[in-house]
Amino acid sequence: MTLQSGGQLSQTGRRVARGGTLILGGGFGGAHVARCLGKKGATIVSPESSMLYTPLLPEVAAGAIEPRHVAVPLRMMCPHADLLLGRAEALDENARIVTVETDAGELHVAYERLVIALGAVVSWLPIPGLDQHAVGFKNLGDALYLRNHVLCQLDTASVDPDNAERHLSFVFVGAGYAGVEALAEVRDLVEDALRYHPNLSDVQQRWVLVDRAAKILPEAPDGLGDYAARQLVRRGVELRLSTTLASVEEHAVTLSDGARMDAETVVWTARIKPNGVLAPLGLPVDKRGRVIVDSSLRVEGRTNVWALGDCAAVPNQATPDRTDPPTCQHALRQARHLAKNLRRAPKPYRYRSMGQGATLGRDKGIANLLGIVNFKGTAGSILTRWYYLSQIPIFSRRLRVLTDGTVSFVFGRDMAELCTLERSSPTVPVTVDRFAS
Ligand SMILES: Cc1cc2nc3c(=O)[nH]c(=O)nc-3n(C[C@H](O)[C@H](O)[C@H](O)COP(=O)(O)OP(=O)(O)OC[C@H]3O[C@@H](n4cnc5c(N)ncnc54)[C@H](O)[C@@H]3O)c2cc1C
């Protein structure tokens, strides 16, 4: 089979990647490679038709931003790319063909250049009860589920006064950026929602943040991490540090220090691991399961296979002692560099981080610029939110998010809870999946 441009069907069940470049994964890394390739074209294989803008997931969980607005449609973002909705399942490097499972059956896609951008997944450690009773926080479904679940707890507490404290107890495990931001935002949602539950005003809430490390936000500069910890404590959050989760039951959790607490909500953000589909692809991986790439982002020992983002161990000339951390900021820079390397003699990747930031609820936050200047409080919040907003790829998306954020800042978070919806049916009403927004 010869490659044709435009991704035409060359024979039944067979395709060729547009422009010869096939990208597996339409997340942050993959979508930006396709966008940067512009008119050169590419074919993206992704189970979803949108790129999820994860930095705003905590705001979605808190009802401050509409879920659809953080999903950037790939067809809008990468107008010169073909999108194949499906999952990459197997790779034949000799034939240069990837097998993709779609709703319409199996497709075989031929490529000249292959880009692996399959991201990471939640790592459910073998802690008793964890996978049954805890919620992950990695995708839009998780954020919607969490929001509906939390709002449901307030309604249930109203009709179950004997267990009201348990319904208002929330345990977050993992004090990295995702866990801290999610806790702070969801706490604001509960605060806003409780105004409409006057019967719960005397119920003791419990917010617990658990981490095996001795401090929260270990990647943040010391002053900022300590400030974030003080802010959370001031807002009534119990920090259980140097502690791990021992077990989760339907209505309670037990920690490694023996403490047992009743809670209906356990959010697990403690660990991610590279996507499991990498193993059958047969590419070289490091001991953490990430694809090994050289300084130009080319997979070790390969000439036409490249990898980036959370699924790859990417060396960075600006930080020779460690590979890049799993962040959007790095995935974006890697994508820009990789797109250039696909069109020229490859050059080594080098990127110095612009800084980092986190929101700590409605009007507080932390930000660090270029590793030099620290901002906290309102300034930290504004800088971080401005940065998140500026990185959303499509202008109209940015405007939608800005409008959502402004409306919820002025009027409070949207507390419409949709987990009890039912769709009309001529026979029995069917409860809509709790993920429904
Ligand atoms: C809640 C949360 C908050 C975050 N906040 C921040 C933040 O504030 N700042 C920051 O810098 N980083 C943040 N991150 C990290 C950031 O999201 C990741 O580092 C970034 O998304 C990595 O990009 P990626 O392309 O490697 O992976 P992803 O963006 O995860 O993309 C992987 C893609 O591969 C697709 N895929 C999976 N299996 C297959 C298959 N078999 N075939 C084809 N496609 C497949 C997935 O559907 C997905 O679209 C956050 C992450 C989370 C979970």
| Domain extents in the chain | 5-47+86-122+273-341, 130-270+355-411
**Would you state the CATH architecture of domain 130-270+355-411?**
3-Layer(bba) Sandwich (3.50)
DSSP code, position 202: T
**What is the residue-averaged pLDDT of the chain?**
91
Average pLDDT rounded to a whole number, residues 169-198: 94
Fold for the domain defined by 5-47+86-122+273-341: FAD/NAD(P)-binding domain (3.50.50)
Pick the atom of ligand 1 nearest to 29's CA. 25
| Contact assessment for residue 24 and residue 116, using Cβ atoms and an 8 Å cutoff | yes
pLDDT tens by residue, 357-383: 999 987 899 999 887 899 999 999 999
Q: Are 282 and 304 in contact (CB under 8 A)?
A: no
- Chain segment 313-325, per-residue pLDDT in tens: 999 999 999 999 9
Tell me if domain 5-47+86-122+273-341 and domain 130-270+355-411 are identical in fold: yes
Residue type, 304: N
Instruction: Grade residue 331 by pLDDT with cuts at 50, 70 and 90.
Output: very high
Distance 273 CA to ligand 1 centre (A): 11
CA 89 to chain centre: 22
- Site residues for ligand 1, CB cut-off 6 Å: 24-30, 45-48, 54-55, 57, 87-88, 117-119, 137-138, 177-178, 275, 277, 309-311, 326-329, 331
pLDDT band (50, 70, 90) for residue 428: low
The average pLDDT across 347-351 equals 96
SS3 readout for 59-71: HHHCCCCCHHHHE
Q: Residue 206: is its pLDDT beyond 80? A: yes
pLDDT value of position 413: 84
Q: Which pLDDT value is given to residue 220?
A: 83
Q: Which residue has the higher pLDDT, 430 or 240?
A: 240
Tell me the pTM.
0.91
User: Is the pLDDT assigned to residue 3 strictly greater than 50?
Assistant: no
Confidence of residue 436 (pLDDT cuts 50, 70, 90): very low
d(CA 407, CA 409): 5
pLDDT in tens, 75-131: 999 999 999 999 999 999 999 999 999 999 999 999 999 999 999 999 999 999 999
Q: How far is the CA of 140 from the centre of ligand 1 (A)?
A: 11
